[in-house]
């Protein structure tokens, strides 16, 4: 049975990887945030790095800096963008798996959590886009894995990875929580090190606050201009929707309207299981509990729904929820029931359905990637359709100019026509 399970697991990983690799054939997929990231990097190639990056920008500038290096080297294209995202995603999953093993989680559970992350529809959706998620995933997962090492040289990797992660995404500040658990045994023995640790923590927090200052300003404005009750209600609904989409592996916008309330209720249950898991893991893995607390402190106050924010920590989130569910089962049915058949079958059935939906998302993305001339009619909500249809030809007045410039300079179909 164990051998059969491993074969199925390996087959699912291989099939997923092959389908992901096909996505390098996609035209350049643009979104509003992606246009902002790529346009800043593109501006730096013509205006100069310092001039472009000194401009006001709504996001941290770490990811545009990485894209700028690709553009400056003449390597950037839709295919290279997807390939880079795939490599970062693979690195993030590998280091997350190794971290979970080092923290004492079962090998099978860690592998399944990574497979579900790989087949999450939100990962499939964003792997083809110029977004910071996967670079952040690779940096944060590398920092997490280094924290579990015993070598003193690990700090040579932890510090730059942590600094880069914070510059790529404000969520990098969540890494300070497990870092505190990592250094605490040393600090407890050497009280003088507490001052140094405090100074380093303040430096990272200050750097993160500066990199994400636009988020902080927007958050304060939202908080000031909304009644507390309405703000809290909006926030709870947003994150119940996050967990509903993450756990059902389906965007709620694709479901019938009558499903919305049911899905939100399911998301609420999933969120409660997540909190229960944080408590349950407090003794088993304090490191994981602190990481999830830090991650929650940064995401949950933000009153907007976007499940992709959870993807870089999704293996940890899934196992935290699993720990919460297992703890509730033990408490409700007694400690003697440690290997119940029904919960195992239920978990197995859930994983099968989740993976099936993930493969469906990959199939849809592949259909888009291989659409050819029909791509503008199939991609997105139609807002950029005119821009894509303009392509390399003369642009109509309603084309999005920043997007059109990116397509003409970096979309390989356009470059082929220009030759």
DSSP string of 312-362, one letter each residue: GGHHHHHHHHHHHHHHHHHHHH-TT-SS-HHHHHHHHHHHHHHHHHHHHHH
61-65, 83-87, 288-292, 325-329 — which is least confidently predicted? 325-329
Mean pLDDT of 367-379: 89
Domain map (residue ranges) of the chain = 15-370
42-46, 207-211, 299-303, 363-367 — which is least confidently predicted? 207-211
- Residue 235: pLDDT band by 50, 70, 90 thresholds? confident
Residue-wise pLDDT for 184-224, tens only, equals 777 666 666 666 666 666 666 676 666 666 666 666 666 66
Tokens describing residue 78 = 């839709």
Q: Which of 208, 143, 209 is nearest to 182 (CA)?
A: 143
Residue-wise pLDDT for 151-187, tens only, equals 878 888 998 999 999 999 988 989 999 998 888 777 6
Task: Determine what percent of the chain is predicted with pLDDT higher than 90.
Answer: 52
Cα–Cα distance for residue pair 227/64, rounded to 1 Å? 36
Q: For the beta carbon of residue 329, count every other beta carbon within 10 angstroms.
A: 15
Cα–Cα distance for residue pair 267/270, rounded to 1 Å? 5
Is the per-residue pLDDT at 48 higher than 80? yes
Check residue 314 and give its pLDDT. Answer: 97
284-288, 314-318, 407-411 — which is least confidently predicted? 407-411
Mean pLDDT of 44-54: 84
Is the per-residue pLDDT at 18 higher than 70? yes
Is the per-residue pLDDT at 101 higher than 70? yes
Is the per-residue pLDDT at 290 higher than 80? yes
Tokens describing residue 207 = 């750097």
129 pairs with which residues across the strands? 29
Residues 296/300/304/307 CA torsion (nearest 10 deg): 30
Q: What is the 3-state secondary structure (H, E, C) of 21-55?
A: HHHHHCCCECCHHHHHHHHHHHHHHHHCHHHHHCC
CA 183 to chain centre: 26
Mean pLDDT of 408-415: 67
Residue-wise pLDDT for 117-126, tens only, equals 999 999 999 9
Q: Check residue 74 and give left, alpha or beta (phi > 0: left; psi -120 to 50: alpha).
A: left
Is the per-residue pLDDT at 418 higher than 70? no
CB 137 within 8 A of CB 34: no
Q: Helix (H, G, I), strand (E, B), or coil: what is residue 191?
A: coil
CB 311 within 8 A of CB 92: no
Residue-wise pLDDT for 336-348, tens only, equals 444 445 567 788 8
Q: In terms of residues, how long is the chain?
A: 419
Whole-model pTM: value is: 0.90
46-50, 63-67, 144-148, 269-273 — which is least confidently predicted? 46-50
Residue-wise pLDDT for 295-307, tens only, equals 998 899 888 888 9
What are the backbone dihedrals phi and psi of residue 126, each rounded to the nearest 5 degrees, phi first? -100, -5
Task: Determine what percent of the chain is predicted with pLDDT higher than 70.
Answer: 83
Check residue 381 and give its pLDDT. Answer: 79
Is the per-residue pLDDT at 137 higher than 50? yes
Check residue 194 and give its pLDDT. Answer: 62
Mean pLDDT of 14-41: 93
CB 204 within 8 A of CB 166: yes
Check residue 339 and give its pLDDT. Answer: 43
- Residue 85: pLDDT band by 50, 70, 90 thresholds? very high
Check residue 198 and give its pLDDT. Answer: 66
Q: Helix (H, G, I), strand (E, B), or coil: what is residue 150?
A: coil
């Amino acid at each position: 049975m164990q051998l059969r399970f491993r074969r199925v697991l390996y087959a699912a990983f291989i099939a997923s990887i092959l389908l992901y690799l096909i996505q390098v054939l996609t035209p350049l997929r643009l979104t509003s945030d992606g246009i902002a990231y790529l346009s800043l990097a593109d501006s730096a190639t013509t205006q100069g790095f310092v001039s472009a990056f000194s401009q006001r920008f709504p996001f941290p500038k770490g990811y545009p800096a990485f894209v700028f290096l690709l553009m400056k080297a003449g390597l950037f294209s839709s295919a290279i963008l997807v390939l880079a995202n795939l490599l970062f995603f693979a690195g993030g999953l590998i280091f997350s798996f190794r971290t979970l093993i080092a923290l004492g989680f079962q090998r099978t559970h860690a592998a399944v959590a990574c497979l579900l992350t790989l087949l999450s529809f939100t990962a499939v959706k964003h792997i083809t886009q110029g977004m910071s998620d996967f670079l952040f995933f690779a940096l944060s997962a590398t920092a997490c894995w280094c924290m579990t090492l015993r070598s003193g040289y690990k700090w040579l990797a932890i510090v730059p990875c942590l600094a880069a992660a914070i510059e790529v995404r404000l969520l990098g500040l969540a890494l300070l929580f497990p870092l505190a658990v990592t250094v605490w045994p040393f600090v407890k023995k050497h009280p003088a090190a507490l001052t140094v640790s405090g100074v380093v923590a303040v430096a990272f927090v200050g750097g993160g606050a500066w990199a994400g200052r636009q988020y902080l300003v927007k958050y304060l404005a939202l908080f000031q201009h909304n009644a507390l009750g309405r703000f809290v209600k909006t926030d709870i609904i947003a994150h119940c929707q996050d967990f509903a989409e993450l756990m059902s592996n389906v965007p709620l916008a694709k479901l019938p309207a009558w499903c919305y309330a049911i899905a939100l209720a399911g998301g609420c249950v999933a969120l409660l299981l997540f909190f229960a898991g944080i408590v349950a893991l407090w003794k088993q893995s304090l490191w994981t509990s602190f990481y999830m607390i830090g991650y929650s402190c940064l995401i949950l106050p933000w009153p907007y729904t976007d499940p992709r924010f959870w993807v870089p920590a999704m293996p940890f989130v899934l196992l935290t929820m699993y720990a919460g569910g297992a703890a509730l089962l033990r408490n409700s049915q007694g400690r003697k029931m440690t290997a119940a058949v029904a919960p195992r079958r239920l978990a197995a059935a859930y994983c099968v359905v989740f993976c099936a939906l993930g493969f469906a998302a990959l199939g849809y993305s592949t259909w888009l990637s291989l659409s050819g001339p029909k791509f503008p009619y199939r991609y997105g909500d139609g807002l950029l359709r005119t821009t894509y249809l303009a392509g390399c030809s003369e642009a109509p007045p309603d084309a999005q100019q920043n997007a059109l410039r990116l397509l003409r300079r970096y979309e390989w179909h356009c470059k082929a026509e220009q030759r």
